[in-house]
Structure formats: structure tokens, C-alpha cells
Amino acid sequence: MQKDTVPAELTALAFDFFYWFSRFEFALKENKYLKNHAEGATALPGWDEFVEKHIGGRG
């Protein structure tokens, strides 16, 4: 698939997905849900910590 052959509807859906996904990851980091809480560590979103707190254990 080439970029110029991607339907406009799919382009819009992909944009919406990445827009909201990035906003949610920002919110995780802003609220201190981080993979690594060490000072100076790269701020990567802590999805597992969020899930554990709000949904509970997996499986």
C-alpha cells in the first residue's frame, strides 16, 4: 500500500487514533504513571501501573 492510495477515511481514522492515544499517554505521564520512577529516568508511560490501580490484576 502506498501513501497516496490510502483512502481518506482510513487516514482520518488513523489520525484520530494516534491523536487520542498520544493524549492518553501524556495524561499517564502527567499523573505520575511511569515505568520508572527514578529521578532522571526517561518518562515512559506506566500502562501496567495504571491498569493495576484502576482495573486490578490481569487474568
pLDDT of 37 strictly over 90: yes
Measure the CA–CA gap between 28 and 24, rounded to whole angstroms. 6
Euclidean distance between CA atoms 27 and 10, whole angstroms: 26
Could you tell me the pLDDT band of residue 59, with boundaries at 50, 70 and 90? low
Residue 58 pLDDT: 60
Domain ranges of the chain: 3-54
Sign of the alpha-carbon torsion through 14, 45, 59, 54: negative
- Largest alpha-carbon pair distance within the chain? 46
pLDDT (tens digit per residue) in 18-35? 999 999 999 999 999 999
